[in-house]
Structure formats: structure tokens, C-alpha cells
Amino acid sequence: MKELVGECINCSRSVYCENGFFNGIHEQGKLYCKECFEKKIKRGVGMSLYDVDVNTSGGQIKSMSDYKGHILLIVNTASKCGFTPQFEGLQELYEEYNGEDFYVLGFPCDQFMNQEFENQDEIMDFCQTNYGVTFPMFQKVDVKGENQSPLFEFLTEQKKGFLGGEIKWNFTKFLVDREGRVLRRYAPQATPQKIRNDIDQLIKGS
């Protein structure tokens, strides 16, 4: 008899117990499928950005290795924040540099004063209707705490920020080069326009 235990915190695969076989791992209150747990262990011995899986807005599992060879600006977003108008500038960057293998990747988060919609469809409708967002948006994630997304765990380990590794607010940004190295971390106050020069230099230096 197969008994559903829960979902993997990383990839949302079902974790179950069947005839004494358990296809998951519990660690510090977090539930992982075995594949994702092995990747988490590997993080301590040279795991790269491309070993991380994320969930698209539509719920499909996507490997960050799909972005290998691309320049990335990864952002934790929110729809009801004072920095929400930055969506406009992020879209402008995406349109300007997308032909140069550049992507903006948006990860909605509701951890800061509940400034994100509960429903994923509402999030997507808001971004597209109000700011014409066409860059990839992903499922809502936790960017800190016990349920922190493995992606943001990796990013914050690579670039700690001025006040430690933990993300403090919406629209923190991480610039990643074509080899998956996290080069820069930008505070929420850093507008997309202020990041343009760094992206331009990175593209020209590639």
C-alpha cells in the first residue's frame, strides 16, 4: 500500500512510503526526495548553480542547467511592494539584452509583509497586465528560513550581502555569469538602470 508522506521542498515531487520503502529524506524538519537530497549533499562538495531544480510558474520542474551559458539576473519579486515598479526596468533590461543570451528570472515571494498574491495565476496576471512582463517567472518560493528555496540557499551562500547572507527584503538581485558564478548581489534599492552597466560589461567581456 502506497502512503503519501508529502512533497519535496525543492522539486514538489511526491514523497511516499510503500511496503516499507521510503523514497524521501527528512532533515531538520524539511522533506526531500532522494534525488534532491543527494544534490543538497553535493552542494557541500562543489555543487553548482546548474545542479539546482526550480518550478516554473506552471508547476513544471526546470533545471537551472537549462540556463548554462547565459547571463542571469535572478530577483525575488513581490506584487504589492514599494519596489514593485522595478518590474518595468527589469523588463526593459530583458528586452534590451535578451538577444545577447541574457535572462531575468523572477521568483515571487510572500515573506516580507505579505506583499505577494496567494494565487500564482494572480501573480502572473498582475505582472503581465501592469508591467508587460515576458521574462521567465517561477512559482512562489521562500527565500529565507527553514523552507528556503535551494536556489536562494545557493545564491546567498555565494554572496552574503552587507548584513549577512539572509535576504532582508523584496527585489534583492543576483547577477550570474555564463559559467554559473554569482558575481554581484544588489540591494532592493538598486534599480535595474543602475545594474545595466554591469550587465553591459559582462556581455562585452564574454
Q: Residues 114-125: pLDDT tens digits?
A: 999 999 999 999
Residue 148 sits in the same domain as residue 78: yes
CA distances from 105 to 27, 38, 66, 87, 134 (A): 28, 25, 12, 11, 10
**Better-scored residue on pLDDT, 37 or 43:** 37
What is the structure's pLDDT at 131? Answer: 98
Residue 77 sits in the same domain as residue 176: yes
Asked if pLDDT for residue 23 goes beyond 80, the answer is no
Residue 56 sits in the same domain as residue 155: yes
Return the percentage of the chain with pLDDT > 90, whole number. Answer: 68
- pTM assigned to the model: 0.80
Residue 112 sits in the same domain as residue 135: yes
Domain count, the chain: 2
CA distances from 140 to 17, 65, 76 (A): 27, 20, 9
**Catalytic residue of the set 8, 33, 36, 81:** 81
DSSP 172: -
Domain at 189, CATH number: 3.40.30.10
Q: Encode 166-200: b = buried (16+ Cβ within 10 Å), e = exposed.
A: ebebbbbbbbbbbebebebbbebebbbeebeeebe
Q: Is 81 one of the annotated active-site residues of the chain?
A: yes
DSSP 132: -
Residue 39 sits in the same domain as residue 116: no
Residue 20 sits in the same domain as residue 58: no
What is the structure's pLDDT at 22? Answer: 78
Residue 37 sits in the same domain as residue 110: no
Tell which residue, 18, 7, 135, 13, has the closest CA to residue 77: 135
Q: What is the tens place of the pLDDT at every residue in 172-184? A: 999 999 999 999 9
What is the structure's pLDDT at 20? Answer: 64
Residue 115 sits in the same domain as residue 187: yes
Asked if pLDDT for residue 161 goes beyond 80, the answer is no
Residue 89 sits in the same domain as residue 28: no
Asked if pLDDT for residue 31 goes beyond 90, the answer is no
Task: State which residues form the domain around 120.
Answer: 49-204
